[in-house]
Amino acid sequence: SNSIKMNRPKVLITRPDVPAGGLNLLKEQCDVILWEKPEPISRSALLSKIQNVDGVYCLLTDKIDEEVLNAAGPQLKVVASMSVGVDHLDLQALKKRNIKVGYTPGILTDATAELAVALLLSTSRRLIEANRAIYKGEWKAWSPTWMCGPGLSGSTVGIVGLGRIGTQVAKCLKGFNTAKILYTSRSIKQAAIQFGGEKVELETLLERSDFIIVTTALTPDTRQMFNKNTFQKMKKSAIFINVSRGDVVDQPALIEALKNGIIRAAGLDVMTPEPIPLDNELLKLDNCVILPHIGSAAIETREEMSIITAKNIMAVLKGVPAEMPSPLQL
Ligand code: DGY
């Protein structure tokens, strides 16, 4: 009836193709406003559609800042992002308004670590380049030296920002008989005992690692932490893997490093901007493997991410924020 309908909270979902689990959960209990186009919601559409909603289900392509929160109005109680990264959210502005924030840590750890390992192996063992070579008619015969790249066995791996994802990457790579795993982190991590990880300063990690894997969050401290200076400190044979955010890298400096043999190769699941323009130099380099930000793109993972996002929203809208499955502590 009308009176029941009037009490249903309003929730904006910023993309039509969010996985069914979360979408259905919200549709059962809320009036859902769904952005109808497959591409990210435009700024102007976000500013108008967010008016008067109680909750927002957003993605990492949606910047939620002061202007957006002002446009929403004071009834907005919860913003839940279907991501573990929250660099697109102005956390101070959310906190100031006492808006609860949800995200999806943990659930995507295995999928993202798996992709990081796949990307590392694709880069070191030159899988994409080798595959392309077949189609270009370049495979003449088995060759003792053709398409060689460094193996993981006996190598030193450096993990920059040892959190949930970095820890899982390290555990996987230990299975390839690496000699040593180094990591950077604000504190010594108990989990590192499982793979004999050693906490070191960034500079030491850069100098000693054969493979450098970035799994840190993007924050003011990590923005552009990989730049001309840090690439210079790496081994000439180093392989650089980024599954965090493009903005942890000064990308022109990375391109120079790849072109000039400052490092051997890079594997990137994230870059600046996304999507990357087709004329970008990174796409012209054989020693760069580039993927379209698919770290968490395991079918079950994305389904679970959508359910957690919906539950984060519902807990707040039902008045029990303590029951959010994944609240971000502001
Ligand atoms: C995240 O969750 O932050 C990833 O970048 C996409 O899943």
User: Is the C-beta atom of 108 inside 6 A of ligand 1?
Assistant: yes
Same structural domain, 146 and 66: no
- d(CA 244, CA 93) in angstroms, rounded, equals 23
Q: Is residue 161 part of a domain?
A: yes
Asked if pLDDT for residue 6 goes beyond 70, the answer is no
CA of 271 to the centre of ligand 1 (A): 13
Q: What is the ipTM of this complex?
A: 0.98
The predicted-structure confidence for 156-204, as pLDDT tens digits, reads as follows 999 999 999 999 999 999 999 999 999 999 999 999 999 999 999 999 9
Distance of CA 45 to the CA centre of its chain: 25
- The answer to whether residue 33 sits within a structural domain is yes
Per-residue model confidence (pLDDT) at position 137: 98
Cβ(111) to ligand 1 under 6 A?
Answer: no
Whether 163 is in the pocket of ligand 1, judged by its Cβ within 6 Å, is no
Q: What are phi and psi of 58, to 5 degrees?
A: -120, 170
Ligand 1 pocket, 309 CB below 6 A? no
Domain identity same for 164 and 309: no
Query: Does ligand 1 have an atom closer than 6 angstroms to the CB of 85?
Result: yes
Q: 47 and 185, same structural domain?
A: no
DSSP character string of 60-125? TTS-B-HHHHHHH-TT--EEEESSS--TTB-HHHHHHTT-EEE--TTTTHHHHHHHHHHHHHHHHT
pLDDT tens-digit readout, 240-281: 999 999 999 999 999 999 999 999 999 999 999 999 999 999
Mutate to test the pocket of ligand 1, among 59, 81, 84, 215 (most ligand atoms within 8 A of CB): 84
Query: How do residues 32-66 score in pLDDT, each as one tens digit?
Result: 999 999 999 999 999 999 999 999 999 999 999 99
Residue 219 three-state SS: coil
Can you give the pLDDT at residue 7?
Answer: 81
Annotated catalytic residue within 100, 293, 302, 311 = 293
Enclosing domain of residue 156: 109-290
Is 293 catalytic? The answer is yes
Q: Is residue 329 part of a domain?
A: no
**82 and 126 belong to one structural domain:** no
Q: Are 82 and 61 in contact (CB under 8 A)?
A: no
Greater confidence (3 vs 93) lies with 93
What CATH number corresponds to the domain at position 187?
3.40.50.720
Give the pair of three-digit tokens for residue 130: 């080798």
Which residue CA neighbors atom 2 of ligand 1 most closely?
A: 83
Question: Token pair of 27, please?
Answer: 């549709």
Q: CA–CA separation, 87 vs 103, rounded Å?
A: 11
Closest ligand 1 atom, residue 245 Cα:
5
Do 128 and 142 lie in one domain? The reply is yes
The answer to whether residue 95 scores a pLDDT higher than 90 is: yes
> What is the total count of domains within the chain?
2
State percent of the chain over pLDDT 90: 98
Judge if 148 and 125 occupy the same domain: yes
Q: Closest Cα to atom 4, ligand 1: which residue?
A: 83
Confidence of residue 1 (pLDDT cuts 50, 70, 90): very low
* Bridge partners (DSSP) listed for residue 101: 79
**Residue 330 belongs to some domain of the structure:** no
- Asked if the structure places residue 217 within a domain, the reply is yes
